[in-house]
Structure 1
Amino acid sequence: MWYGQLVIGPPGSGKSTYVAGVTHILKQINRKTVIINLDPFIENDIYEADINISDLIDIEKVFSDMGLGPNGTLIYCMEYLLINIDWLEEKLNTYKDCYLIIDTPGQVELYTHNDALKNIILRLNKLNCRLTSVHIVDSTLCSDGYKYISSLLLSLCSQIHLELPHVNVFSKIDLLKYFKNDLKFPLSYYVEAQNLNQLILYETYKNGSSSEDENLSYNYNKNLNNKTTNTNIENYNKNIYKINLVFLNY
């Protein structure tokens, strides 16, 4: 049996840094870990993957032979991995009883509506892999109310689609000090993700207009946003964020 984390999040949110940091911490307590990289585009020296999708599929060959763009290539790679899931299963069987940390591509369609990654997870479940999805979100998005709410909706879509236990993690928390003047509320407000109508109200009136037509538009958007947040986020009551306290000092 394996336990582990499926690390998801938009491009540039800090997934690879998180993977490297968590791996470093686990090794300090003598926990056997395995890093699985499912992003064929990734090129970094932050960590060395034990299992790498690039060993299964040549991304340059996909580009040249299939004539696909970046997003299409990633979807093709995930679907190719699903077809050849035996390759991943054989690799896993050489790391019995290790803790899994799975780094994924940043293209959100892979974990919001495309089924390839979801079906890969289902196959891993049959191997007794017990995973938790860890959604990494750039904490500087809190400086913009609408971007913050968008990240909540993305997190909720991912949670529902992947059907895994789910944790949201704010990354780059050290950079938030440069945006403190743009935060409308204390950090604890964004961590709890409740009473979002207050944030919508603030953003609506901040961008208000004296034009009657524009005021009608603002009122419509405010009502729509209130219904969206109350129905899809607050009532679901699971989008509570954790602060990422992983520091890389090595």
Structure 2
Amino acid sequence: MEKETDYKISFVNLDPGCEYLLYSHDFDIRSIITTRDIMIREKIGPNSAMVRAMELMEKRIENIVAGIVKLLGDICIIDTPGQMEIFIFMQLELKLLKKSKTSVVRLMFSS
């Protein structure tokens, strides 16, 4: 996509439960947290592990934002968990935007 435009595009994966990505990413939350590791460590199921992952992401929000802001180009596409309600109800999206102090126009969330 970047080759077809004059924009620098960054790709971010914020889905700790994702097993396979169809694109290369510039930042991947799975380098910090995965739901599989949480399931094994805490002996819980996938839904509880996703909620727990969101809690852990919230605690590490400063590091996550620093990693994302460092690579921001003109457009940043952020892939979020398919269970969007978890991401929204935990208000992680809003906290990311507030902490990054970045224009919403530059950030695009998808699930």
Say yes or no: TM over 0.5.
yes
Unaligned runs of 5+ in 2: none
The 3-state SS of whatever aligns with 2:77 is strand
User: Between Structure 1 and Structure 2, whose CA radius of gyration is higher?
Assistant: 1
Q: 1:94 is paired with a residue of what secondary structure?
A: helix
1:93 alignment partner, SS class: helix
The percentage of counterpart residues that share the same residue type is 25
Are 2:35 and 1:35 aligned? no
The answer as to 2:52 corresponding to 1:79 is no
Q: What corresponds to 1:131 in structure 2?
A: 104
Shift of 1:108: 3.8
Whether the aligned pair in 1 keeps the contact of 2:80 and 2:110 (CA below 8 Å) is: no
Post-superposition shift, 1:49? 1.4
**Gaps spanning 5+ residues in structure 1: where?**
1-23, 137-250
The match for 2:95 is 122
Task: Give 1:72 deviation, angstroms.
Answer: 1.1
Distance 1:41 1:67 in 2: 15
Deviations along 1:24-79, one digit per CA (max 9) or x if unpaired, are 2x441031111111112223351011111100114332111112211111111111
**Structure 2: how far apart are the matches of 1:119 and 1:45?**
21
Structure 1 counterpart of 2:70: 94
Q: Does 1:69 align with 2:45?
A: yes
Give the alignment's Cα RMSD to 1 decimal: 2.5
TM-score by length of structure 2 reads: 0.78
Residues 69, 121 of structure 1: alpha-carbon distance in 2 compared, 3 angstrom cutoff: same
CA contact (8 A) 2:51 2:86 kept: yes
Structure 1 pair 75/50, CA: closer, same or farther in 2 (3 Å)? Answer: same
Instruction: Look up the match of 1:50.
Output: 26
Which whole-Å CA distance do the structure 1 matches of 2:84 and 2:96 have between them?
Answer: 21
Match of 1:110 in 2: 86
The structure, 1 or 2, with the larger RCO (C-alpha pairs under 8 Å, 6+ apart) is 2
1:215-246, Cα deviation, whole Å (9 max, x unpaired): xxxxxxxxxxxxxxxxxxxxxxxxxxxxxxxx
